[in-house]
């Protein structure tokens, strides 16, 4: 079980993670963090839960967090960014999670546009950045991160193959240590969000970790599914998706699936 005292000890010296609220069970850490952010919670506030009963993923999908098996947390950030720069938070979170997992478990995660973290082609973590605006500026962002540590959902529970960190790493992973590592990587790269000279490094590191670039893919959008090639990403986080006609669509949100080469 995750214990508040142990987490407090682990987060000693971290910039993020204060104040810290630890729940044995909650609906969604992101819902709670949003409520607190709306009421003026400071940057760095962290909600961690052992179990979520109404965990949310992108597009209103459920995110499962059974007890004793996962890491689920939401962090309030107040970066100096405009609304158009909001996708930078997902880049930051993706790179930070990959770097922390590499350190802690000695495996090499990759990212799947826009929000998934993969090991050996299977998803073991998801990122959810929810922003509130004040005019053209971001007022706050709730960064929700969920990692399957020792359990993964069954195939019928998900629309993309899932796995868990321990199965891929072949070793036990201490969740409190993993949380500390992620927060430290978020802290180390946080300045790259709003420093225009440093942001290209964050963008390049995110792009370098993306799977499927240049590959035939199926892009499932809200109202249609497109077949084509996931050609590249742009600095605003958009996917550049080439259609068979040669037209390149800029897409800010959607679900990417690999297509077998024979279907091209």
Interacting residue ranges for ligand BTN, rule: CB under 6 A: 28-30, 52, 55-58, 61, 63, 72-74, 115-116, 126-128, 144-146
CA distance 27 to 52: 5
Give least dist CB 31 to ligand BTN, A: 7
CA distance 37 to 17: 14
Beta-strand ranges (E) seen in the chain are 20-23, 46-49, 70-77, 110-112, 116-119, 122-134, 137-148, 215-220, 225-233, 239-242, 248-251, 255-258
Give least dist CB 130 to ligand BTN, A: 9
Buried (b) or exposed (e) across 130-144, using 16+ Cβ within 10 A? bbeeeeeebebbbbb
Residue sitting closest to ligand BTN (CB): 126
- Reduced to 3 states (helix: H, G, I; strand: E, B; else coil), residue 26 is strand
CA distance 148 to 192: 27
Give least dist CB 72 to ligand BTN, A: 4
Question: Which CA distances in Å does 155 have to 56, 58, 161, 246?
Answer: 18, 18, 6, 35
> Which CB atom, from 72 or from 229, has the smaller least distance to ligand BTN?
72
Give least dist CB 219 to ligand BTN, A: 16
> Which CB atom, from 56 or from 189, has the smaller least distance to ligand BTN?
56
> Which CB atom, from 63 or from 206, has the smaller least distance to ligand BTN?
63
193, 90, 52, 153 alpha-carbon torsion, rounded to 10° = -150
> Which CB atom, from 44 or from 146, has the smaller least distance to ligand BTN?
146
> Which CB atom, from 26 or from 229, has the smaller least distance to ligand BTN?
26
Give least dist CB 52 to ligand BTN, A: 6
> Which CB atom, from 178 or from 229, has the smaller least distance to ligand BTN?
178
Give least dist CB 67 to ligand BTN, A: 14
């Amino acid at each position: 079980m995750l214990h508040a005292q142990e987490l407090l000890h682990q987060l000693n010296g971290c910039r993020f993670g204060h104040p810290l609220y630890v729940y044995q069970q909650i609906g969604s850490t992101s819902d709670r963090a949003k409520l607190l952010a709306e009421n003026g919670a400071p940057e760095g506030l962290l909600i961690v839960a052992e179990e979520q009963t109404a965990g949310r993923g992108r597009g209103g999908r459920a995110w499962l967090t059974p007890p004793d098996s996962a890491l689920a947390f939401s962090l309030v950030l107040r970066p100096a960014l405009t609304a158009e720069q909001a996708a930078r938070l997902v880049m930051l979170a993706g790179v930070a999670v990959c770097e922390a997992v590499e350190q802690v478990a000695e495996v090499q995660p990759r990212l799947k546009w826009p929000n998934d973290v993969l090991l050996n082609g299977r998803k073991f973590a998801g990122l959810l950045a929810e922003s509130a605006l004040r005019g053209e500026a971001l007022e706050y962002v709730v960064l929700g991160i969920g990692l399957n540590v020792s359990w993964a959902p069954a195939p019928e529970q998900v629309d993309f193959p899932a796995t868990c960190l321990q199965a891929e790493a072949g070793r036990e992973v201490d969740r409190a240590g993993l949380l500390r590592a992620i927060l430290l990587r978020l802290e180390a790269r946080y300045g790259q969000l709003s420093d225009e000279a440093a942001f290209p490094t964050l963008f390049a590191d995110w792009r370098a970790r993306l799977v499927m670039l240049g590959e035939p893919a199926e892009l499932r959008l809200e109202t249609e599914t497109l077949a084509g090639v996931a050609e590249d990403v742009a600095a605003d986080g958009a996917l550049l998706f080439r259609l068979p006609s040669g037209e390149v669509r800029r897409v800010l949100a959607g679900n990417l699936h690999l297509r077998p080469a024979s279907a091209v």
